[in-house]
Amino acid sequence: MTEIPYKIYLSENDLPRYWYNVRADMKNKPAPLLNPKTHKPCTEDELSEIFCRELAKQELNETDRFIDIPTEVRDFYKMYRPAPLTRAYCLEKKLGTPAHIYYKFEGNNTSGSHKLNSAIAQAYYAKKQGLKGVTTETGAGQWGTAMAMACAYLDLDCIVYQVRCSYEQKPHRREVIRTYGAKAIPSPSMETEIGRKINAEFPGCTGSLGCAISEAVETATRQPGYRYVLGSVLSQVLLHQTIIGLEAKVAMDKYGIKPDIIIGCAGGGSNLGGLISPFMGEKLRGEADYEFIAVEPASCPSLTRGVFAYDYCDTGCVCPLQKMYTLGSSFMPSANHSGGLRYHGMSSILSQLYDDGLMKARSVEQTEVFAAAELFCRTEGTLPAPESSHAIKVAIDEALKCKETGEVKTILFGLTGTGYFDMKAYAAFNDGTMTDYVPTDEEIQKSVAKIPQI
């Protein structure tokens, strides 16, 4: 048998030339997006008022299996891709497991996460359409950084509504965004109608993703030459992220490796969807079988404790309605939760796959996530993002199960980014002051009750 190297590197020529649209192979397609005013399926023209035309097309495209990656986007990818696939030999050894563990690392760029894969695509289509700029939101800050970076490259204006608590707690993130030339505005701000309304209603409000999205959409639709861009949840974003899974598959095929279990953290679902898409395609077509596991925080458990229903993607209810697993758009994860993945809903593609029993989900608490991050950091060397560490935690759990049963399973997980800007959370873990919070059924019921009846 060929020795598997620690890192499987691909050449520029191996870089995929297309994204893979898993919807083309899904028997049960995700439910259509609905216009929030009429509750009728959104048309391309309606979506094009918010998003770039080409991205609106991609959002609605459920028939083309492959969508070409534009040459300019592929050239940008070459600056930080193909990303290596790493065999976690050192972690395996430490765990004493017979399992083979692989991870696909997406933190190899200054923005520090996979989000750049979609940011550059979205900036490219905006530029191609002749727009002046884009608006967006950022929670933890990775998406804002990625978008600022992509816009700097293409000379586009970029306005980022950064959730206020993140703007204040993560000044370094904010400065990276500004260094790339984007404008960072704490949300809720006084620059939009929805921001002023929320500030009046809840003085001192530290913001939420849903609120920042509403502000960004309002600004995009009010200013000529601007469109709104979103970092996850949407099918177009998941599509761009399939570069992760496609590359992973090329690398594994090169050495004849077939994963048994594929694991990813799930915030809005784009990185996980992108990682599993090519493998899920094989499963949907009956060519191969894999076990897929989505990992979410116990403090924001949309798949494991949410409902499958049409819901708003934002607090201001200006975005299209999406059928998804959701905790309700008014759900606020507890303030002690610093591990990212704080969004109330989930990608409609992943939601449908999960509802059809094609994917599993598990929720984990943040202290156990940081314990997994610490072990990973000390064995594999990379300081993982708290978000990514949710996947690490479950990969370790699965590897330890193999240790008990003696099974030699192959595990693949997505290491979505690095955690250098999350040192406050690491400090809380190191100091032993980090706490877990699991919402009660009553709390979840409260926000679920506000989901529109459609």
Ligand X SMILES: *Cc1c(COP(=O)(O)O)cnc(C)c1O
**What does the binding site for ligand X look like in residue numbers (CB under 6 A)?**
113, 115, 142, 232, 265-272, 341, 385, 387-388, 416-417
Nearest distance, CB of residue 30 and ligand X, angstroms? 16
Gap between the Cα atoms of 184 and 158, Å rounded: 9
Q: Which is nearer to ligand X, 30 or 269 (CB)?
A: 269
Residue with the closest Cβ to ligand X?
A: 417
CA distance 327 to 345: 6
> Least separation, in Å, of the C-beta of 233 and ligand X?
7
- 266 vs 280, beta carbon nearer ligand X: 266
Nearest-angstrom CA–CA distance, 361 and 231: 22
Q: Shortest gap between Cβ of 255 and ligand X (angstroms)?
A: 26
Provide the strand spans (E) within 232-352: 261-265, 291-297, 307-312, 321-326
Number of H helices, E strands in the chain: 18, 15
Closest CB to ligand X among 99 and 209? 209
Q: Pick between residue 217 and residue 402 the one whose CB is nearest to ligand X.
A: 217
Query: What tokens does 254 get?
Result: 């090169």
Tokens in use for 389?
């560490």
User: Which C-beta is closer to ligand X: that of 41 or that of 171?
Assistant: 171
Per-state percent for the chain, helix, strand, coil, to nearest 5: 45, 15, 40
Beta carbon of residue 196, minimum distance to ligand X (angstroms, whole number): 28
Shortest distance, position 222 Cβ to ligand X, whole Å: 27
Identity of the residue, 199 or 347, whose beta carbon is nearer to ligand X in the bound complex: 347
Least distance in angstroms from the C-beta of 305 to ligand X: 17
Q: Which of 436, 449, 340, 446 is nearest to 390 (CA)?
A: 340
Pick the closest to residue 92 from 437, 422, 411 (CA basis).
411
Are 300 and 210 within 8 A, CB to CB? Answer: no
Q: Which is nearer to ligand X, 198 or 265 (CB)?
A: 265
Q: Judged by CB, which is closer to ligand X: 341, or 448?
A: 341
Find, among 267, 419, 429, the residue nearest to 344 by Cα: 267
Minimum gap (Å) between residue 345 Cβ and ligand X: 10
Q: How far is the CB of 110 from ligand X (least distance, A)?
A: 13
Answer yes or no: are the C-beta atoms of 381 and 374 closer than 8 Å: no
Rounded distance, CA 352 to CA 343, Å? 18
Report the residue number, 202 or 420, with the smaller CB distance to ligand X.
420
CA distances from 106 to 33, 268, 392, 415 (A): 29, 17, 14, 6
- Cis peptide leading into residue 188 (ω within 30°): yes
**Shortest CB 267 distance to ligand X, Å:** 3
Question: End-to-end alpha-carbon separation of the chain, Å?
Answer: 56
Across 148-290, where does the E strand assignment appear?
157-163, 183-187, 226-228, 261-265
31 near 348, Cβ under 8 Å? Answer: yes
Nearer to ligand X, 115 or 170 (CB): 115
Smallest distance from the beta carbon of 177 to ligand X, in angstroms? 14
